[in-house]
Amino acid sequence: MNDAFVMQDTRPRFLSEDAAAFASAVEFRDIPEDTLHIAKRCIIDGLGVMLAGTEQEALSVAARYLTTTGATPAARAVGNPDLKLSAQQAAFWNGLAGHVMDWDDTQVAEGPDRPYGLLTHPTVPPLSAVLALAELGDGVSGRDFITSFVAGVEVESKIAEAINPDHYNLGFHTSGTIGTFGSAAASARLLRLNENKTAQALGGAASMAAGIRANFGTMGKPMHVGRSSENGVTSALLVREGFTFNDTALDGQWGYLSVAGRGGEPELVLGRFGQPFSLSEPGVSIKPYPCGVLTHPSMDTMKALMQENGLSPDDIESVTLFASNNILHPIRFRTAQTELEGKFCMAFLLSSIILTGRAGKAEFTDGFVQSPECQDMQKRVETRFDPDIAAMGHDKILSRIEVVTKSGKTFRKFSDDRYRGGPLNPLSDTEVEEKFMDCVAGILPDEQARVVLDTIWSIEDQADARTLLDRVNG
């Protein structure tokens, strides 16, 4: 590994300088083979959910907004060849599209007191940034593209681990806030900013990192990730032109950790950037369902309970999900009226599984949510706090389901903490590709989608990273 960023005997005083030293020095050869493979899986997944997101109403609104800004065309938008945007706007579009379905991957926490699954969605902000910035100048090699992406994910994940969990628990949306640092680090690496300028780019990100959970269930939530992608690019481009920011803005009394998180524990990550890479350890969760990872074990449990007992929707009298507040508080809607609310509504998520046996692109539509069958089934599903599950730890996403049938029978099942898609039970490469194909169905022909997949698996061999967007946008 490159000695330029490996800390030997002493640790740096500031998280800002440690993150900047890593991001400015890391090279392709420093990325272990397993981390590289996971990074490619994340790019496949991230690009797939971006393309799926372009069909959502929020992107139609964004397209109308972006066509009024009059920016000099410099970068293409993923999945919309007609839009010609600035690099910052392209990053905004990509980030919005990547999170609008809430189908993008999730960082896994290391610390037992960190709210499991509630750190960041790590891939989309740095991926949005490098896709946009690769459009500028004479082109970026595939190796620099994926190295910059990995650098952004690493910085984002380590900062998310360091900040006090109150940052999320009190209402900040980390993918919008901490995602900005991932986008800035990836952008700085792609632009080849030196260590001091990279630290300043992180300083600029600190002044732009925002997003509150009050907007969950609206277009505001994915907008947070669009802005985190855009703001990281903006900060790095400003610094490249000579704009100045504080180069220790993560640290100290008025630094981001203190202001936005009641402090933190930077010592947990100091000297550990790239040692190991967070993509490999503790890893990331690639979502089988387009909703918060906290809901996935319960959805899988509902599906298994229905199958194991031969139940049909007509059999269901009532469903009760027992869980701790780490699940119940974020999943905030009693019943859903829109697909955006449905992502934060256990009654809808379980109803989708009950009614169709799945919860994918076809089910996350306003039409399905508002159908009489779905509205009726949601009324039959309720949630309850379970102190025994709570006592097992806030870092566990556990639940149990109790089903009462119309014939009077009761069935119960406990969720498995080796949830599907997580590092302990990951989707196979084939399943990741199948998810990509589901995402792009009706958007890319199968032959074109296969070419895109092959390009990502061999991204380090691409002389110009723009080839990827060429093949995505046709």
CB 363 within 8 A of CB 352: yes
Displacement of CA 383 from its chain's centroid (Å): 26
- For the chain, give the mean pLDDT: 93
Q: Residue 320 forms beta bridges with which residues?
A: 382, 402
Helix runs in 54-173, H state only = 57-66, 87-99, 124-133, 142-162, 166-169
**350-352-356 Cα angle (round to 5):** 125
Q: Per CATH, is 293-414 categorized as 3.30.1330.120?
A: yes
Place of tokens 């919008």: 176
What is the value of pTM for the model shown?
0.88
Strands 381-385 and 399-405, bridge-based pairing? unpaired
The two tokens of residue 419 are 């949830």
15-288+434-473 with 293-414: one CATH topology? Answer: no
Residue 330: what pLDDT? 83
Residue 474: what pLDDT? 84
Q: Residue 323 forms beta bridges with which residues?
A: 385, 399
Helix runs in 54-86, H state only = 57-66
What are the residue boundaries of the structural domains of the chain, listed by start?
15-288+434-473, 293-414
CB 200 within 8 A of CB 185: no
DSSP state of 420: T
136 has a pLDDT exceeding 80: yes
Identify the CATH number of the domain defined by range 15-288+434-473. Answer: 1.10.4100.10
Give the rounded percent of residues in the chain with a pLDDT score beyond 70. Answer: 96
**252-256-261 Cα angle (round to 5):** 100
d(CA 93, CA 88): 9
What confidence tens digit (pLDDT) does each residue in 231-244 have? Answer: 999 999 999 999 99
d(CA 223, CA 220): 5
The closest of 123, 144, 119, 124 to 134, measured between CA atoms, is: 144
d(CA 121, CA 117): 9
Secondary structure of residue 81 in the 3-state scheme: strand
Strands 381-385 and 410-414, bridge-based pairing? unpaired
Give the rounded percent of residues in the chain with a pLDDT score beyond 90. Answer: 82
- Of 4-8, 66-70, 83-87, 267-271, give the lowest mean pLDDT range: 4-8
The two tokens of residue 238 are 């400003």
- List C-alpha distances in Å: 21 to 236, 277, 283, 313, 425: 15, 15, 22, 56, 34
**264-270-271 Cα angle (round to 5):** 170
Q: Residue 76 forms beta bridges with which residues?
A: 84
Residue 4: what pLDDT? 46
Displacement of CA 175 from its chain's centroid (Å): 7
Residue 12: what pLDDT? 56
d(CA 311, CA 377): 14
The closest of 406, 414, 345 to 374, measured between CA atoms, is: 345
Displacement of CA 33 from its chain's centroid (Å): 22
163 has a pLDDT exceeding 50: yes
420 has a pLDDT exceeding 90: no
What confidence tens digit (pLDDT) does each residue in 20-70 have? Answer: 999 999 999 999 999 999 999 999 999 999 999 999 999 999 999 999 988
- Whether the link from the prior residue into 445 is cis, omega within 30° of 0, is no
Place of tokens 């027992």: 322
CB 24 within 8 A of CB 283: no
Secondary structure of residue 442 in the 3-state scheme: coil
d(CA 81, CA 60): 14
Strands 316-323 and 381-385, bridge-based pairing? parallel
